[in-house]
Amino acid sequence: MSYETATVKPEGNFLATHPYWAGLLLGAATVPVFILLPKPLAQQWGALLLAMIGGAYVGFAARDGRRSANIIELGGGLAFGVVGLAGLQFNPLLIAGGYVAHGFWDLFHHRHGPYADTPHWYIPFCVVYDWIVGAFLLLWWG
């Protein structure tokens, strides 16, 4: 997609111009949601959110169109969904660890290679968000 055809131009998009701050703000806004929910519901919310975050790259892979990207990202998305379910079944710290692990998954997504081509701002945004939520949940549920 070129900037000429993009619906949201990067210069007017806070995520694109300040991905670290956006991740910090959204992470900080997510923490109170966990605190306000009863613990079983917070765990379910955390597992669902982890699966959705893991699935974001599936969308990027679909847009990318390469078979290798689709296979890798689908596998990653399914893996984070399984981690969320395992956390609900066995130990919620698996969910917290899943967020931390997803931050590392983000770091492996460079602009080239077999991974899906992602917007330049998404990786730093998601790393910061994942690690804020993961660190909070590790401390809160640990």
The answer, as to whether pTM is greater than 0.85, is yes
pLDDT of residue 112: 61
Give Cβ neighbours of residue 53 (< 8 Å, ≥ 6 apart): 80, 99, 102, 126, 130
Task: Please list the ranges in the chain whose pLDDT falls under 50.
Answer: 1-8
Name all contacts of 7-14 with Cβ < 8 Å and 24+ positions apart. Answer: 10/121, 13/121
* Rounded CA separation 99/59 (Å): 19
Residue type, 50: L
Q: Report pLDDT for 110.
A: 64
In which residue are the tokens 């917290």 written? 96
Give 91's DSSP letter.
Answer: -
CA distances from 14 to 18, 58, 108, 113 (A): 6, 23, 23, 27
Q: Rounded to whole angstroms, what are the CA distances from 7 to 12, 17, 113?
A: 11, 16, 27
pLDDT value at residue 2: 47
**CB within 8 Å of 89: residues ≥ 6 apart:** none
Supply the pLDDT for residue 119: 86
Instruction: Characterise 104 by phi-psi region: left (phi > 0), alpha (psi -120 to 50), beta (else).
Output: alpha
Please tell me the predicted confidence (pLDDT) of residue 13: 84
